[in-house]
Structure 1
Amino acid sequence: MQGADATDVQRAADPSPAAQPAGRDRYFDTLRAVALIRVVTYHTFGWAWAGMVFPSMGVMFALAGTLMAKSLERPALKVIRGRLRRLLPPFWFWGFFVVVAMLIHDWMPGRQIVYWIVPLGDPPGNAWGEQAWEILWYLRTYLWFVLLSPLLLRVFRLAPVPVLLLSPAPILVVHFAWEPPDNRFGGALTDLATFLFCWMLGFAHREGVLRRLKPFAVAVLSLAAVAYGGWYAFTHQAETGSYDLDDIPLAQAFWSAGYVTLLMCAKDHFGIDFAWLTRFPRLDRLVTIFNARAVTIYLWHEIALILAVPLIDQFWNVPAFETYLPLESQWFMFGIGWVLIAVFVLLCGWVEDVAGKKKPKLLPGGRTATS
């Protein structure tokens, strides 16, 4: 998600046709790109198993935690201001269109509209715009993690391994001992508890803790967490009607914890860096675009999928399209959705550049002149 952190991107010292971001980790960049693709896929097809194949939210929180720990080598207030500056302008730009559209469709806002300025709670809206704004839980949770990170990192450094191992405790408390209120506060608390381990795992990677752990022990504990999360999801379907991890926070927490730990430790213990991406300039640039425009893709993808439906409806009025195109297929809608996402990236992605105090570009990672 945190493509807003792409302000760290600089040109590589090695002149090549495509500018490579200096200091970027292409393995992590690729994970973030895959996570975004999985999010769009899930919101198109609604496959309950998609979260098990690749737990995008856990991956994105872990990657964001790594970047936050790195940034906190600088003064905390400066880091927090920088994160807010990178996140809020794209959110405000997107939110303007969503709020105006809901107002046109009879929405009457109250005092809670303040959450459309700083999303420390879920911004309010009406049912007409729900598909667009329901994804904002991620931004709200990310924002809280950013604000809490100076304290969390200080606590983590006191006893890294015990703190990491205890970080699933809040979701166990929330699930078994104390039920949070059914309101904005309760929802935020549950999401923070669900993904706390992943965020702390990002700290552990950045601080070199994962590299010092024994691979066998890490693998056993990770697989045990995945097994428990999967078992809980499949044995509690009656409560939600599905094994979808998004509907079962406890299962989501443990599945993501184990899965993402394996991904992070694989990098530390096997030195995975995906440097080979540079041999495929187009694929490498695509990964760069996904990371530099991650906030734009995340915010606008649901609107793209919403607009794909009436657009495809118009295709039925063209006999050739009706005859030769698979207009009823969800895969066709998936394709049209990505075309519209690309349009939004071109039209709106520059806001991320402005928020990061960079020169606005249609697309990042373009060709540069060589000396």
Structure 2
Amino acid sequence: MTYPNHPSGHPQQPYGEPHTVPFPVQPPPRHRARPAGGPAPWAEPPEPWVREPAPAATLAPAPEQAPAPAPAKGGRDRYLDLLRAVALVRVVVFHLFGWAWLTVVFPSMGVMFALAGSLMARSLSRPAWSVIRSRVRRLLPPMWAFAAVVVPVVFLLGWKPVREEGIWWFLKLACYVLPIGTPPFPWENGSESGLLESSWAEQALGPLWYIRAYLWFVLASPLLLKAFRKLPWVTMLAPVGLTAVIGTGLVTVPGTAGEGLVDFAVFGSCWILGFAHNDGLLKTVPRYLSVSLAAILMAFALWWASGHLTEEGWNLDEIPLAQSAWSLGFCVILLQYAPSWRELPGRLAGWDSLVTLANNRAVTIYLWHNLLLMATFPIIDQLWEVPWVGDHLGTYIDASYNTLALILIWPLIGLMIVSVGWVEDVAAKRRPRLWPNGTGKPRARH
């Protein structure tokens, strides 16, 4: 999304999924594999949104038991787990290819916030302070592990304090510890070797917008839940109205506080819709009525988007009001028709272990996927150095460059899960596990 009155048009972490411009669709020329070359730059226009992004769920850390639409006995709702896994995959694919239509076909960020809101509402049957403390404890260590790797590299590559900001610049660095605001990062921080493209830090740190937004929602949830249970429909629709004011340029809130407020407004209705799902409120509304109203809201979103297209076309991540309305309507339909699955049915059962793994490592996948996507390109470049392959298959490598990156990203994500994913278990006070896909054990009940 483009922000008015900002010199670059893109403040540090605009709302939505991070980094909506894809990696270069046209594969790099053969000479990129040479030492003098480097991977093609990853153009940046969201990442949060990225402005996927990205990203990259609900990205609620190590998700707790997902509620059924109505009170149910213990166990996870595998339908909600499946939605979360699909949302993560969609974020990764979008950040690689940048296909704007994906934001319409499946609004991942809205889905992830709706699922997180449902989990939060269920947890708030316990004392609010203990729930907030537990959620913050589960959220922060994975972010600290990520920042402990990326931030030192940024400094090593020449990032320096902004003299004009004085002590305030150092105070903003504390957002890497407690992300109440947007953590600072350099817009350009490439290495002279060419291994890191100049906007790599912006791309890598893009997903932190989601951590900030999630934290805001967690802190506000006790009050939001009280308001929802008193005035449910007004509370649910209020964020869409707020987006119409601050997300359209009608009123501009400057600085990082404005960025956070826009995120909060855009996805607030989805979060509160999660409350409605947990409380069973959606089931009290006739299905034909809720679906009809959702369709009207989604039609409005498309109409609004059609008149406010950016250079990225139908990328709803760049059109706040359209994103807010479309995501809410989309999630209403998903949750109105939600089955209560204790096991994935039919052919979906074959994906059970991967769905379990994605849910147990949602924060890890989301935080690291942008950086890992960038890592795929220099790896693919090495194919030109393999005898015979570069000379005889170079044309095919060029033509399938992004496809090769899509294939390579998954083992890289798997490697990162094994390397640092266990931090999510430590944060949740569980025994660390390297590959928690549920195989060979009864499914965990949280």
TM-score by length of 1: 0.90
1:89 matches 2:146: no
Shift, 1:342, TM fit: 1.1
**1:323-359: CA deviation from partner (whole Å, max 9, x where unpaired):** 4584332111111112211111111111111111111
Give the match for residue 180 of structure 1. Answer: 252
Structure 2: state its 5+ residue gaps: 1-56, 67-73, 162-168, 190-200
Given the alignment, which residue of 168, 179, 184 partners 1:119? 179
User: 1:25, 1:273 within 8 Å by CA — same for their partners in 2?
Assistant: yes
Higher percent of residues as helix: 1
Shift, 1:186, TM fit: 0.6
CA distance in 2, matches of 1:194, 1:232: 14
Residues 216 and 280 of structure 1, relative CA distance in 2, 3 Å threshold: closer
Residues 293 and 216 of structure 1, relative CA distance in 2, 3 Å threshold: same
User: 1:3, 1:290 within 8 Å by CA — same for their partners in 2?
Assistant: no
**Quick one: which amino acid aligns to residue 299 of structure 1?**
L
Shift, 1:8, TM fit: 5.0
Residues 338 and 217 of structure 1, relative CA distance in 2, 3 Å threshold: same
Equivalent residue pairs, number: 354
**Quick one: which amino acid aligns to residue 103 of structure 1?**
F
Shift, 1:304, TM fit: 0.7
Give the match for residue 124 of structure 2. Answer: 72
Give the match for residue 22 of structure 2. Answer: none
Shift, 1:176, TM fit: 5.2
Please give the secondary structure, in 1, of the residue aligned with 2:397: coil
Give the match for residue 341 of structure 2. Answer: 273
CA distance in 2, matches of 1:85, 1:50: 33
CA distance in 1, matches of 2:341, 2:132: 28
Given the alignment, which residue of 100, 108, 112 partners 1:56? 108
Give the match for residue 137 of structure 1. Answer: 209
Please give the secondary structure, in 2, of the residue aligned with 1:264: helix
Please give the secondary structure, in 2, of the residue aligned with 1:113: helix
1:4 matches 2:61: yes
**1:50-96: CA deviation from partner (whole Å, max 9, x where unpaired):** 11010000000000000000000001111011111111000000111
User: 1:92, 1:117 within 8 Å by CA — same for their partners in 2?
Assistant: yes
Please give the secondary structure, in 1, of the residue aligned with 2:258: helix
User: 2:120, 2:218 within 8 Å by CA — same for their partners in 1?
Assistant: yes
Please give the secondary structure, in 2, of the residue aligned with 1:4: coil
**1:255-294: CA deviation from partner (whole Å, max 9, x where unpaired):** 1011111001111xxx353734487665101100000000
Alignment of 1:193-272 (within 5 A): 193-237=265-309, 239-267=310-338, 271-272=339-340
Structure 1: state its 5+ residue gaps: 10-21
Please give the secondary structure, in 1, of the residue aligned with 2:419: helix
Larger mean CA deviation between 38-47 and 108-117 belongs to 108-117
Residues 38 and 320 of structure 1, relative CA distance in 2, 3 Å threshold: farther
Larger mean CA deviation between 339-348 and 314-323 belongs to 314-323
User: 1:164, 1:197 within 8 Å by CA — same for their partners in 2?
Assistant: yes
CA distance in 1, matches of 2:348, 2:286: 34
Give the match for residue 291 of structure 1. Answer: 359
CA distance in 2, matches of 1:175, 1:84: 28
TM-score by length of 2: 0.75
User: 1:180, 1:190 within 8 Å by CA — same for their partners in 2?
Assistant: no
Please give the secondary structure, in 1, of the residue aligned with 2:252: coil
Give the match for residue 161 of structure 1. Answer: 233
**Quick one: which amino acid aligns to residue 250 of structure 1?**
L
Same amino acid, percent of matched pairs = 43
Give the match for residue 403 of structure 2. Answer: 331
User: 2:82, 2:355 within 8 Å by CA — same for their partners in 1?
Assistant: yes
CA distance in 1, matches of 2:414, 2:226: 40
Calculate the aligned-residue CA RMSD, in Å: 2.1
User: 1:164, 1:200 within 8 Å by CA — same for their partners in 2?
Assistant: yes
Shift, 1:247, TM fit: 0.7
CA distance in 2, matches of 1:67, 1:191: 19
Residues 313 and 227 of structure 1, relative CA distance in 2, 3 Å threshold: same
User: 1:7, 1:358 within 8 Å by CA — same for their partners in 2?
Assistant: no
Please give the secondary structure, in 2, of the residue aligned with 1:327: helix
Larger mean CA deviation between 292-301 and 164-173 belongs to 164-173
